């Protein structure tokens, strides 16, 4: 029988238990300065989460630094690149995520607490 890695969460869309699991994993990653691996918008990404809360649209969002470029092949569009850098990710579009053992060394130098795109902050570095 396959076992899920520690810290793995799958978000069944529209369920309270899925949202609660996702919330716990994200805030745990921020509090303990750990990387997250997630599947989002067709990309598998590794990110350094810096803040989590409700965006201006009142949807849950994560402000994160994507640590590496993502490259994927789309049969309709060909090769696509999503460059490393700052991302504002909608939590309802995350398919799965896992807490990685690697630490986030420190907040990125250009990170500022009180992100203007997050209306209500649940947790932040």
Position 105 scores a pLDDT of: 86
Distance CA 119, CA 53 (A): 7
Average pLDDT for consecutive 10-residue bins of the chain (125 residues)? Answer: 39 58 92 95 91 95 94 79 93 92 92 94 95
Position 14 scores a pLDDT of: 52
Distance CA 17, CA 35 (A): 22
Position 7 scores a pLDDT of: 45
Position 17 scores a pLDDT of: 60
Half-sphere exposure of 77 (CA within 13 A, CB side): 8
Q: Is 101 left (phi over 0), alpha (psi -120 to 50) or beta?
A: alpha
Position 10 scores a pLDDT of: 43
All structural domains of the chain with their residue ranges: 8-103+112-124
């Amino acid at each position: 029988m396959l076992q899920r890695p520690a810290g793995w969460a799958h978000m069944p869309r529209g369920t309270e238990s899925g949202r609660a699991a996702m919330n716990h994993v994200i805030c745990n990653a921020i509090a303990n300065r750990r990387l997250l691996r997630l599947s989002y918008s067709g990309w598998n990404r590794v990110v350094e989460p810096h803040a989590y809360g409700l965006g201006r649209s009142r949807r849950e969002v994560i402000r994160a630094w994507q640590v590496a470029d993502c490259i994927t092949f789309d049969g309709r569009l060909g090769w696509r690149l999503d460059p490393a850098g700052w991302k504002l990710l909608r939590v309802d579009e995350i398919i799965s995520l896992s807490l990685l053992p690697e630490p986030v060394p420190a907040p990125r130098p250009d990170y500022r607490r009180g992100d203007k795109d997050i209306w209500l902050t649940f947790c932040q570095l």
